[in-house]
Amino acid sequence: MINASDMPIKFEFSADEDTKRLFEIAVYFLERYFGYGQDEAVKLVNYYYNQRENKHDDDYYHHEGAFHVAVQIHYFIYLEKDIDHFPEWKLDHNLINTPREAIDYFHEHYYVR
């Protein structure tokens, strides 16, 4: 598993450095919590961001946080589920709250640059 503090990931979208960093950490969370390989996780992030660029600005992703963005990517892009069941699915899979480990990882790796 790659650490988000390693080399920056090349995304197929334009965003400021803070947003790119958030998505690098989301890639790590997709690997860590959902079992994706880095290449697959990056492809899912690219697809997710590009699909939603007219619906959300970058502030949305920062408000949600890297862990919950990863949860959304897994649910909406990989599982291809609809929004109506998202809250119930998160509850059923214990994904309502960000795990302490993910919070700590974010704080350790988001502010390093």
**pLDDT tens-place string over residues 64-75:** 999 999 999 999
pLDDT for the residue 7: 56
- Write down the residue that tokens 């119930």 correspond to: 88
Whether 10 is in a domain gets the answer no
Whether 5 is in a domain gets the answer no
Whether 7 is in a domain gets the answer no
- Mean of pLDDT values over 4-10: 64
Confidence of residue 112 (pLDDT cuts 50, 70, 90): confident
Q: Which CA distances in Å does 5 have to 8, 27, 91, 101?
A: 8, 12, 30, 16
> In terms of pTM, does the model score above 0.85?
yes
pLDDT for the residue 5: 45
pLDDT for the residue 49: 94
Confidence of residue 46 (pLDDT cuts 50, 70, 90): very high
Confidence of residue 3 (pLDDT cuts 50, 70, 90): low
Whether 89 is in a domain gets the answer yes
Residue 106 tokens, joined: 């974010």
Whether 8 is in a domain gets the answer no
- Mean of pLDDT values over 29-35: 98
Whether 12 is in a domain gets the answer no
Averaged confidence pLDDT in the chain: 91
Whether 2 is in a domain gets the answer no
pLDDT for the residue 6: 56
Whether 80 is in a domain gets the answer yes
What are the backbone dihedrals phi and psi of residue 66, each rounded to the nearest 5 degrees, phi first? -60, -40
For the chain, what is the domain count?
Answer: 1
CB atoms within 10 A of CB 26: 29
Domain of residue 105: give its range: 17-110
